[in-house]
Every structure is written in structure tokens, then in C-alpha cells.
Chain A
Amino acid sequence: MIKNFLMNLLLSAIWVALTGSLYYTNFLFGFMLGFFVLWIMNRNETDQRYFYRVPKIISFVFYFLYEVVKANVQVAFDVITPKYFFKPGIVKYPMSARTDFEINLLTTMISLTPGTLIIDISDDKKTIYIHVMYLTDPQTFVRQTQTGLERRLLAILR
């Protein structure tokens, strides 16, 4: 896993050195080429996790950007129109993330989505308390976050 990633970085650095133009687009292109080469070379290996994980990470980044933009448009619409459409509330959210790193990433992602704000994490690290702006029903919010953001994030990390 780590070995494959370092090999991929090395291949893209070699690509940048050989082509001689130090732009991030060229680096990205080299990374893609290196990923392709590694994928062809490692098709008979048993450990294929790296090659499943990189597309998942890219799709997660785009999913997250889409969510952020969607929620931002909703909040902006609510700010500039005279009527308040939101129903705020504090929700108790049971996490399935366990280690500190997973909790850190999950709370950062939830915080960066507009309309949600982490108030606190319980001391036994099982639940977090989220202040939500558009809360129609606490159960549906918890279910949506569990099946959407948290499942995708844990699929990458585990």
C-alpha cells in the first residue's frame, strides 16, 4: 500500500525530471502514467488495495466538493432572501469511526459542509454533537450522514 504509493511518486518525479517542465499539471499527468504502469505491473499480486483506493479517493474528493457547493448555495439563498427557511437543532450522532485519525477526518469533513457545526465530542469518543441548520428530522439526518459521508470516508481509510 505505502510501497505502491511511494513507487508512484517516484515514477511521477522521474517523469517530471525527464520532460523537464515543473508544472503541477505535468506532475499530475506523470502520476497518472505511473499509476497506469504500476497497475499493469502488479496485476498478479494479491495486494490490490492501492488500485481500488486511489479511484475511491478521487471520487470522494469530487463528492465532497459537490456537497460543499450544494450546501453553500442553499445557505447563500437563505441569507439573501428575507424569510428564514432553516430549522436549526443539535443532533446526537453515533460515530462508527474509532481511531483518532478517522474521527479527526470525519469531524473536519462534517464541519466543512455548510450548515453543520461540531459542538463537542463525547469523552468516550462514541458520539459527536452536531448543530445542524436544515434539520427536518434527526433520524433522517443521522441516516443520511451515515450512508453518505461516513461510509465513503471509512471505505477509503479501512
Chain B
Amino acid sequence: MIEIILGFLSTVGALSILFASIGILRMPDFYLRLSVTVKASTLGVGLLLICAAIMFPDISVTTKAIAIIFFLIITAPIGAHMIGRAAYFTGTPLWKGTISDELAGMYNEETHRLDSEEDESDDDIHDGKPNIAKTDEETK
């Protein structure tokens, strides 16, 4: 019974890491790559660690696995958020199939301050145009 659970969990974990790595290759833009990779790898590593915790009947293995999963869950979203924010600042283009960009024009260009409402005063700095990719057609 334990072996069936172990096999199932580790297969699902390994498959989700595999799909994350295929996703890096196949996704058309940076943000999609980021959002595919971070979550699927968190789930995959978490499942493999749970397998290790079930497999070794030792309390120290269990506590270590729980601690690693806890810190992974805390740190992975923050890392993804920081990378995505930096990518948006440097003007990484969104995919051409993107249907809405409500963040466009919300940043103050000099101070990187982000407002929650549309501000009329700095319309001349940034005219609210979403930076959706034109590079895709040019490269292909």
C-alpha cells in the first residue's frame, strides 16, 4: 500500500518537473515561462520531499522535509514576483496574444512608484501603451 502511494506521488512530482522544463522551451514569452516554471517546480519538489518523508520512518527526515517545503513555499513566490517586476521595468515585451495589460502606464518612470489609480499628470511621460511584442513577427 505504502509503495503504491510512494510510486504515485513520485511519478506525479517528476512529471510536473518535466512539464515545467518543457514549458520553458515552449512558452512564447518571458512571463508565461516564469509562471509555468515556478509553480510546477514547487509542486514537484514538494511531492518528492513528501515521498522521502514517507519512505524513511525517521522523525528527523520528516522534520527536515517539512522545513524545506515550508521555506520553498515562502520563498518561491517572492522570487517569481521580483523577477517578473524587474522584467516589466526593463521593458520585456508581452506575447502578441496578450489580451489586456492593465499595468501599462501605472508606473512612475523616474521613481518606480506604483499607483493604484490612473494618474493624469504623467500621461506625457508614458502614454499608456502596453509593450506587447512586435519582435515575434520580426524574428520569424
Residue on A nearest B62 in the bound complex, by CB:
A24
Task: Digitize A103-146: 1 where CB-to-B-CB distance is under 8 Å, 0 elsewhere.
Answer: 00001100111111111111110110101010100100000000
> A71–B40 Cα gap in the complex (Å)?
10
Of the candidates B23, B31, B77, B84, which one forms a contact with A107 in the assembled complex, judged by CB atoms under 8 Å apart? B77
Q: Which 5 A-B pairs have the closest CB atoms?
A: A111-B77, A89-B100, A114-B39, A117-B35, A122-B116
Q: Identify 19 residue pairs between A and B in the complex whose beta-carbon atoms are under 8 Å apart, listed by A's number.
A: A68-B43, A72-B16, A75-B19, A76-B19, A87-B99, A88-B95, A88-B97, A89-B99, A90-B103, A107-B81, A108-B74, A111-B81, A112-B73, A112-B77, A116-B35, A118-B84, A121-B114, A131-B35, A135-B99
Interface pair A90/B116, CB less than 8 Å apart: no
* Closest-CB distance, B67 to chain A (whole angstroms): 13
Give chain B interface residues in 108-122, CB to chain A under 8 Å: 113-116
Say yes or no: is A62 at the interface (Cβ < 8 Å to chain B): no
* Closest-CB distance, A134 to chain B (whole angstroms): 11
Residues of B within 8 A of A (CB-CB), count: 46
Q: Which residues of A contact B31 (CB under 8 A)?
A: 88, 117, 119, 131
> A122–B81 Cα gap in the complex (Å)?
13
Q: State the majority secondary structure of interface residues on A.
A: mixed
Interface pair B28/A120, CB less than 8 Å apart: no
Interface pair B99/A115, CB less than 8 Å apart: no
Say yes or no: is A84 at the interface (Cβ < 8 Å to chain B): yes
> A131–B95 Cα gap in the complex (Å)?
12
Q: Which residues of B contact A127 (CB under 8 A)?
A: 116
Of the candidates B16, B23, B32, which one forms a contact with A88 in the assembled complex, judged by CB atoms under 8 Å apart? B32
Interface pair B116/A119, CB less than 8 Å apart: no
